[in-house]
Structure 1
């Protein structure tokens, strides 16, 4: 069994290859049972570890299991609070093939899923995007979007301006023209693509700021207690999700459904439906689109299969 580190995962999953790999697997389908949530109590009375177990398999080919361990007590130990691993198996024999860095798999497939959605939903001629957030997923978004849109200019806003400056320097070295925004409302008003990757629990982006014809990408809210966008972001917009699981997990959608600002019946479709041509994406230049993702093990499987192919 191979052990594959984060750098190797990154080299094996350039977005020019990872985005099409996601599209292909969403179109063909995979078996994805509900994720398991386990609680590992600390006998000494410290903070419990929450472990998420996500699995998916492509019958007759590969079977992947991702384990994400979230340990709030690690801050006091001087350790990162999140650790993830992906174990890829042969789906026929059950033989373990490779143990992969799960953090790298997760961040890269998450950014790629947003880019995949944008290939159908974002304005085709969009050359500039606004990134809200400065974490590991946010750092990958311009490169991911450049695989599907001619992105040249990036504006970044973060609660900590120094974190935004670090990202700006990194992106400039990648060939982007970058501006660090201090006024998020003004930046959003002038952006055709707004991509949010934060851990916010209250709205950061307001619908009143969004321009007609813009595309809003919401990544960070993956529990009912989290939110990046207010109700107005959904009112009058065309909304798609990665999977229908978002309708029961994302505070982003639960809140506007509860207030009546948006109805689940108005959902335009999922990534699988878009990939299969069962529904269509953007239909008008002035249409305001929203994509909400919560993540799925199918994406982990697609990325792991790509890494395995590169590893030979």
Structure 2
């Protein structure tokens, strides 16, 4: 039951981290996709403000879930030069609102939630789309998002080997050092992306605007989580690879203008008929996901507002239960 007081629960990043883990996030995100597949959500496509001279953008992501009766909005940036300033490339704030009054219930750090729910989406996609015997993971990119992607995968499959590559070999070393603490697997650093593509599940987490994974490098039966393309003009995969694969998007409208499919879609290389399903439709049993062990499946992840909403609501409920956070008067 909501308490109709004009105060807001403030949760800073340390508060969020104290109540969230990947297993909880996976459950929340899977349910969010399920409701999305049943069309029981309101979720306009994310809107963008582009700060071209600052190499950045600002995005707003509102959503409402009917079954859970929760609503909110995330405001998130992507500034590629922030690392030079000692700031995260991606930062976010999430506001949860009462559906009864519209009043804000909580304001919380969304940066860690963004990392976790994006990783969880990849884990959920692999759960439904990867071959059951998948054991080898390939990582193109070893930044912060690569960590939560691999963490989520470790919860849904038995990982025996992780192949990784990135532009700076020292980043691969730190990635291996960090992830070996939570995943019992062999880690091997590769000089080429082609070598990394020899895997069962391929994860791409780069911000590039020209394809770096070529079709001929990917063998039949591979599942790919394409994570990096989250804005107009970005793409990581060879369009020829898309043409020979089963494409699953998180949301068809959003992916068309800001996902992995956005460039080949806008140039006519692929059309809406080439998009097999939304992930929520697969989870809800409305459409089939992987159709054979030889099928190449691609999950085009743009990041949905409902992922933030269900994860933030889980954080809020646990924080209230445990008495975590600060109460701030709004008026």
TM-score (norm 2): 0.84
In 2, Cα distance between equivalents of 1:83 and 1:246? 20
Correspondence for 1:91: 99
Q: Judge which range, 232-241 or 190-199, deviates more.
A: 232-241
Structure 1 residue ranges without an equivalent (≥5): none
Q: 2:259, 2:302 within 8 Å by CA — same for their partners in 1? A: no
In 1, Cα distance between equivalents of 2:284 and 2:58? 33
Within a 5 Å distance, the mapping from 1:126-141 to structure 2 comes to 126-141=134-149
In 1, Cα distance between equivalents of 2:81 and 2:163? 34
Is 2:295 the partner of 1:287? yes
In 2, Cα distance between equivalents of 1:71 and 1:50? 6
Q: Could you list the per-position Cα deviations for residues 181-239 of structure 1 after superposition, in whole angstroms to 9, with x for gaps in the alignment?
A: 21221221x20100101111111111111111111110101223111111221122111
2:46 to 17, 32, 35: 35
- Deviation of 1:61 after TM superposition, in Å, equals 2.7
Give structure 1 regions of 4+ aligned residues with deviation exceeding 6 angstroms: none
Within a 5 Å distance, the mapping from 1:51-200 to structure 2 comes to 51-59=58-66, 61-70=69-78, 79-80=87-88, 82-177=90-185, 178-188=187-197, 190-200=198-208
Within a 5 Å distance, the mapping from 1:15-30 to structure 2 comes to 15-28=22-35, 29-30=40-41
Correspondence for 2:4: none
Is 2:233 the partner of 1:217? no
Q: 1:131, 1:156 within 8 Å by CA — same for their partners in 2? A: yes
RMSD, matched Cα: 2.4
- Deviation of 1:175 after TM superposition, in Å, equals 3.0
- State the SS of the aligned residue for 2:177: helix
In 2, Cα distance between equivalents of 1:48 and 1:185? 29
Structure 2 residue ranges without an equivalent (≥5): 1-7, 322-331
Within a 5 Å distance, the mapping from 1:262-273 to structure 2 comes to 262-273=270-281
In 1, Cα distance between equivalents of 2:26 and 2:33? 11
- Deviation of 1:22 after TM superposition, in Å, equals 1.6
Q: 1:38, 1:50 within 8 Å by CA — same for their partners in 2? A: yes
Residues 153 and 256 of structure 1: is their aligned pair in 2 closer, same or farther, counting only changes over 3 Å?
Answer: same
TM-score (norm 1): 0.89
- State the SS of the aligned residue for 1:303: helix
In 2, Cα distance between equivalents of 1:2 and 1:304? 12
- Deviation of 1:151 after TM superposition, in Å, equals 1.9
Residues 70 and 211 of structure 1: is their aligned pair in 2 closer, same or farther, counting only changes over 3 Å?
Answer: closer
